């Protein structure tokens, strides 16, 4: 918190508000305070940090935070307004993408003359972009639990099972391995469903000869992992091999090029050009990858519209894919940590076209 | 959608925007269109409904929606602005609590003269407040899967296990029973941790003589269930029995009083007075209950500040609780459907103080 308190001047504000509700979570609030409850506001002024929450979190707020004033209230918006008024804070910095229009409207109504200052996206996204060694350990733990669970799940027969049963098996192994749960809804997309980049596990039964995209991640002490493998049930066709090879080559070229200082767009372009040269350019429907930490999707964004360069301490995915409507898809995703001595792949599953039964 | 199109005049708007992003989901967008992807905008004008999303959801958007124009774009905010400009929509209704300050700022900048009209909370919350028979079936299915999973989990030994292991067992059974996953992070709060109303399952090992609060729910076809039981490991003390009885009596008085037309505050008061008379008033730290549907927490809100009366078709929880710091807690929660012939409890676990090993 203190590093933020000292920066208020730089942002031209008297106070900063971080706000978490059940429907709109400020991950920065958790990152900066340690508080994991679902409903809280944090006000940072040059001299103090105040956590405002409700009775459900009285004990938890004390346990999880330190060095903050804690206020337990019934009406949080009113308490935020009162706090700002009593501190004579008239220029309020906030996370514009994590605060609702409604909250801003309520505060500006309750505090005449209040000026809202959206904090820059760069500042907010860069807060968590370079991970500490402690964070790396947690992400690595999540990645290893998830890879182990995937390896074990793919050992058993897939043919004839529902996608959702495979997801259930995988998720039990996450828990057994020590994870808190899933990082996102597990994607098991078989046959034509593989053409859906976000094809959550469904009731569809897996058949022989199908490609199966398995995109999975678990959470360990709040931190996510994210990895994708593609399997084929039984023997693969020439076409399936060709598609897989196009994705595999793109994936490997990116890993080879990954180093401190390279632009995120440049990396995306390497993957895109590779898949394009193999004739599947129009089927690569999304960006190359994204940062992973307390959120499964966070900065840096490796995409044609991404900004900035890779820096030591970043953790991100490399996940090229090809999606052909009514046919299926292939995606290969590794979780990468850029250490001082180069990229380290934290996820552990192989990225070949995995043959399963 | 059509029922909304015909109401634009009533709200004094030319268009309504529903917007879902990964961090801020519009459940009404899903409810009204059927689209389940994480990133989409829907614009409703008097004559048409337009779904705007990105390439990842090309196939899914076609499969899940009907009667809508679908636009696949790279820059969603720009596409929304272009659509509004081309329709000459200058008064835009939106869900103020589900739209970020940033999006509103971007749209008002891109569309000179655009007037933002927050749709009333009543309208938005009442959209989904009375469930259709199809919705009731899904919620009931979720409730039964979850109750069965809980019953089976509590048959095995709890003493000596970590809370998180119990949660893992429960969640596997949700999946095996046909659920899509959890409705919310499973709460297993034993001993002093029971004093945390939202005490997510931790590494704590469960000991003999402890109270264990188990608050669990799963999701079936998008719909949530929500139920809580309290167990005692081994024999219960007199104090534990007294606390349980105070919660149990409040819970039962509320179920007895539940009927069409009764005020939500009145129901909350019945529980609060009952617990107060038993001497535990200051330990009941939250509202009596909440609606359940596509979201685990939605209208109606049964609390001292809730509004309105119970109506046929509503589904909600009744969940009084007592939380004593450094001691523990008891919560008993039933999921209730108010049918034409009276309240029907959809959850199936008993609400006595369950003795487990």
Contact partners, residue B89, CB within 8 Å, separation at least 6: B13, B14, B15, B43, B45
Alpha helices in A19-119 (DSSP H): 27-33, 58-64, 76-86, 101-110
| Contact residues on chain B for A291, CB-CB shorter than 8 A | none
Residue B5 CB-density burial (10 A; 0-12 exposed, 13-18 middle, 19+ buried) = middle
**For A325, which residue in chain B has the nearest alpha carbon?**
B59
- 3-state secondary structure (DSSP) of residue B56: helix
| Contact residues on chain A for B164, CB-CB shorter than 8 A | 175, 178, 180
Pairs of residues, one from chain A and one from chain B, whose beta carbons lie less than 8 Å apart: 130
CA-based nearest residue to A13, from A121, A125, A119, A123:
A119
**Token digits for B292?**
């359940």
Calculate the alpha carbon distances from B284 to B47, B227, B275, B303, B319 in Å: 50, 17, 8, 12, 10
Determine the Cα–Cα distance for residues A130 and B344; give it in Å rounded to an integer: 52
Determine the Cα–Cα distance for residues A46 and A52; give it in Å rounded to an integer: 17
Determine the Cα–Cα distance for residues B143 and B226; give it in Å rounded to an integer: 7
Assess whether pLDDT exceeds 80 at residue B1: no
The beta strands (E) that lie in B211-311 are given as 211-216, 218-220, 223-224, 227-233, 289-291, 298-302
CB contact B58 to A (< 8 Å): yes
The full DSSP string for B183-232 is SSPPEEEEGGGGGSTT-B--SPBP-TT-EEEEEE-EEETTEE--EEEEEE
Determine the Cα–Cα distance for residues A63 and B186; give it in Å rounded to an integer: 20
pLDDT score for B289: 98
Chain A segment 9-38 residues within 8 A of B by beta carbon are 22-25, 37-38
Determine the Cα–Cα distance for residues B206 and A184; give it in Å rounded to an integer: 28
Determine the Cα–Cα distance for residues A117 and A13; give it in Å rounded to an integer: 7
Helices and strands in chain B, H and E counts:
11, 20
Calculate the alpha carbon distances from A57 to A174, B199, B288, B309 in Å: 28, 9, 16, 28
pLDDT score for B56: 85
Percentage of the residues of chain A whose pLDDT score is greater than 90: 88
Note the pLDDT tens digit of each residue in A260-275. Answer: 999 999 999 999 999 9
Contact partners, residue A67, CB within 8 Å, separation at least 6: A1, A49
**Token digits for B111?**
């569309």
Chain A segment 295-314 residues within 8 A of B by beta carbon are 297, 305
CB contact B195 to A (< 8 Å): yes
Name the one residue in this structure whose structure tokens are 């009775």: A55
Q: B331 near B230, Cβ under 8 Å? A: yes
For each of the domains in chain A, give its residue range(s) and CATH number, in order of start. Answer: 2-127 (3.40.350.10), 129-356 (3.90.230.10)
pLDDT score for A199: 81
**For A304, which residue in chain B has the nearest alpha carbon?**
B74
Determine the Cα–Cα distance for residues A247 and A285; give it in Å rounded to an integer: 12
Angstroms from A341 CA to nearest CA on chain B: 34
- Residue among A103, A185, A196 minimizing CB distance to B181: A185
**Token digits for A332?**
């290969």
pLDDT score for B288: 98
Angstroms from B228 CA to nearest CA on chain A: 16
Note the pLDDT tens digit of each residue in B243-259. Answer: 999 999 999 999 999 99
- Residue among B99, B171, B180 minimizing CB distance to A101: B99
- 3-state secondary structure (DSSP) of residue A302: strand
CB contact B357 to A (< 8 Å): no
Assess whether pLDDT exceeds 90 at residue A123: no
- 3-state secondary structure (DSSP) of residue B285: coil
- 3-state secondary structure (DSSP) of residue B316: strand
Contact partners, residue A256, CB within 8 Å, separation at least 6: none
Q: For residue B300, say if its preceding peptide bond is cis, omega within 30 degrees of 0.
A: yes
Least confident of A119-123, A151-155, B26-30, B188-192: A119-123
Assess whether pLDDT exceeds 80 at residue A3: no
**For A120, which residue in chain B has the nearest alpha carbon?**
B102
| Contact residues on chain A for B94, CB-CB shorter than 8 A | 101
Determine the Cα–Cα distance for residues B173 and A154; give it in Å rounded to an integer: 20
CB contact A195 to B (< 8 Å): yes
Assess whether pLDDT exceeds 90 at residue A295: yes
Q: Look at A285 and B56 and tell me if their CB atoms are within 8 Å.
A: yes
Q: B110 near B86, Cβ under 8 Å? A: no
Chain A segment 269-298 residues within 8 A of B by beta carbon are 285-286, 297
pLDDT score for A111: 96
The beta strands (E) that lie in chain A are given as 15-20, 40-44, 49-53, 69-72, 91-94, 115-118, 181-182, 187-190, 211-216, 218-220, 223-224, 227-233, 289-291, 298-302, 315-318, 321-324, 328-331, 334-339, 342-345, 354-356
Determine the Cα–Cα distance for residues A245 and A234; give it in Å rounded to an integer: 18
CB contact B101 to A (< 8 Å): yes
pLDDT level of residue A328 (50, 70, 90 thresholds): very high
Determine the Cα–Cα distance for residues A258 and A252; give it in Å rounded to an integer: 10
Which residue out of B53, B100, B103, B177 would a mutagenesis test of the A interface target, given it has the greatest number of A Cβ atoms within 10 Å? Answer: B100
Calculate the alpha carbon distances from A304 to A121, A268, A273, B263 in Å: 18, 6, 12, 54
CA-based nearest residue to A220, from A165, A167, A176, A185:
A176
Note the pLDDT tens digit of each residue in B216-229. Answer: 999 999 999 999 99
Number of Cα atoms under 13 Å in the Cβ half of residue A59: 18
| Contact residues on chain A for B175, CB-CB shorter than 8 A | 164-165, 167-168, 171-172
pLDDT score for B6: 83
Q: What is the mean pLDDT of chain A?
A: 95
CB contact A97 to B (< 8 Å): yes
Beta-carbon count within 10 A of B241 CB: 13
CA-based nearest residue to A64, from A76, A73, A51, A79:
A51
- Residue among B22, B196, B297 minimizing CB distance to A59: B196
Secondary element (H or E) of residue B20: strand B15-20
Q: A197 near A204, Cβ under 8 Å? A: no
Q: Look at B55 and A286 and tell me if their CB atoms are within 8 Å.
A: yes
pTM for the whole structure: 0.87
Determine the Cα–Cα distance for residues B332 and B187; give it in Å rounded to an integer: 13
Calculate the alpha carbon distances from B340 to B135, B226, B261, B311 in Å: 15, 22, 12, 9
Report, as an integer, the average pLDDT of A78-89: 96
Q: A22 near A10, Cβ under 8 Å? A: no
pLDDT score for A72: 96
- Residue among A25, A172, A198 minimizing CB distance to B168: A172
Percentage of the residues of chain B whose pLDDT score is greater than 70: 100
Determine the Cα–Cα distance for residues B27 and A44; give it in Å rounded to an integer: 32
| Contact residues on chain B for A74, CB-CB shorter than 8 A | 305
Contact partners, residue B130, CB within 8 Å, separation at least 6: B311, B312, B313, B314
Angstroms from A11 CA to nearest CA on chain B: 17
Q: Look at B164 and A182 and tell me if their CB atoms are within 8 Å.
A: no
Determine the Cα–Cα distance for residues B190 and B164; give it in Å rounded to an integer: 11
pLDDT score for A4: 85
Q: Look at A100 and B103 and tell me if their CB atoms are within 8 Å.
A: no
- Residue among A60, A99, A178 minimizing CB distance to B101: A99
Note the pLDDT tens digit of each residue in B270-311. Answer: 999 999 999 999 999 899 999 999 999 999 999 999 999 999
pLDDT score for B147: 98
Q: What is the helix, strand, coil percentage profile of chain B, to 5? A: 40, 25, 35
pLDDT level of residue A250 (50, 70, 90 thresholds): very high
Contact partners, residue B314, CB within 8 Å, separation at least 6: B129, B130, B131, B291, B300, B337, B338
| Contact residues on chain A for B185, CB-CB shorter than 8 A | 180-181
Q: Look at A55 and B285 and tell me if their CB atoms are within 8 Å.
A: yes
Give the total residue count for chain B.
357
Q: Look at B171 and A167 and tell me if their CB atoms are within 8 Å.
A: no
Bridge partners for A41 per DSSP? A19, A52
Bridge partners for B116 per DSSP? B92
Q: Look at B197 and A56 and tell me if their CB atoms are within 8 Å.
A: yes
Beta-carbon count within 10 A of A342 CB: 11
Contact partners, residue A64, CB within 8 Å, separation at least 6: A33, A34, A35, A36, A37
Q: A180 near B164, Cβ under 8 Å? A: yes
CB contact A202 to B (< 8 Å): no
Q: Look at A172 and B175 and tell me if their CB atoms are within 8 Å.
A: yes
CB contact A177 to B (< 8 Å): no
For residue B127, report the phi and psi dihedrals to the nearest 5 degrees. -50, -45
Q: Look at A181 and B198 and tell me if their CB atoms are within 8 Å.
A: no
Assess whether pLDDT exceeds 80 at residue A1: no
Report, as an integer, the average pLDDT of A296-309: 95
Q: Look at A181 and B176 and tell me if their CB atoms are within 8 Å.
A: no
CA-based nearest residue to B49, from B39, B59, B40:
B40
Determine the Cα–Cα distance for residues B308 and B338; give it in Å rounded to an integer: 15
Assess whether pLDDT exceeds 90 at residue A322: yes
pLDDT level of residue B196 (50, 70, 90 thresholds): confident
- Residue among B57, B94, B195 minimizing CB distance to A59: B195
- Residue among B23, B98, B100 minimizing CB distance to A25: B23
- Residue among B37, B101, B297 minimizing CB distance to A22: B297
Angstroms from A172 CA to nearest CA on chain B: 6
Contact partners, residue B223, CB within 8 Å, separation at least 6: B135, B138, B139, B141, B142, B293, B294
Q: What is the mean pLDDT of chain B?
A: 95
CB contact A67 to B (< 8 Å): no
Note the pLDDT tens digit of each residue in A38-58. Answer: 899 999 999 999 999 998 898
| Contact residues on chain A for B286, CB-CB shorter than 8 A | 54-56
**Token digits for A201?**
């596990």
């Amino acid at each position: 918190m203190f590093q933020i308190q000292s920066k208020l001047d730089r942002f031209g504000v008297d106070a900063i508000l971080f706000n978490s509700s059940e429907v709109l979570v400020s991950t920065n609030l958790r990152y900066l305070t340690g508080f994991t409850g679902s409903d809280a506001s944090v006000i940072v002024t040059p001299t103090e940090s105040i956590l405002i929450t409700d009775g459900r979190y009285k004990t938890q707020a004390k346990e999880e935070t330190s060095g903050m004033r804690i206020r337990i209230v019934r009406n949080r918006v009113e308490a935020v307004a009162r706090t700002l008024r009593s501190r004579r804070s008239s220029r309020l910095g906030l996370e514009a993408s994590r605060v609702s229009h409604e909250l801003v409207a309520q505060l500006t109504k309750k505090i005449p003359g209040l000026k809202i200052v959206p904090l820059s996206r760069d500042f907010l996204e860069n807060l968590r972009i370079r991970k500490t060694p402690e964070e790396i350990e947690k992400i690595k733990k999540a990645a290893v639990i998830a890879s182990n669970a995937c390896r074990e799940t793919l050992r058993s027969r897939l043919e004839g099972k529902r996608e959702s049963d495979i997801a259930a098996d995988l998720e039990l192994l996450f828990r057994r391995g020590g994870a808190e749960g899933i990082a996102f809804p597990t994607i098991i997309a078989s046959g034509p469903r593989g053409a859906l980049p976000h094809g959550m596990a469904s009731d569809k039964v897996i058949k022989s000869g199908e490609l199966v995209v398995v995109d999975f991640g678990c959470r360990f002490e709040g931190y996510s992992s994210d990895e994708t493998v593609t399997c084929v049930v039984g023997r693969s066709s020439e076409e399936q091999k060709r598609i897989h090879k196009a994705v595999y080559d793109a994936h490997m070229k990116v890993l080879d090029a990954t180093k401190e200082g390279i632009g995120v767009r440049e990396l995306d372009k390497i993957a895109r050009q590779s898949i394009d040269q193999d004739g599947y350019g129009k089927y690569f429907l999304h960006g190359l990858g994204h940062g992973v930490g307390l959120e499964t999707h966070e900065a840096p964004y490796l995409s044609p519209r991404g900004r900035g360069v890779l820096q030591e301490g970043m953790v991100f995915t490399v996940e090229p894919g090809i999606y052909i409507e009514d046919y299926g898809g292939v995606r290969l995703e590794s979780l990468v940590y850029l250490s001082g001595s180069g990229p380290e792949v934290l996820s552990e599953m192989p990225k070949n076209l995995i043959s399963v039964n």
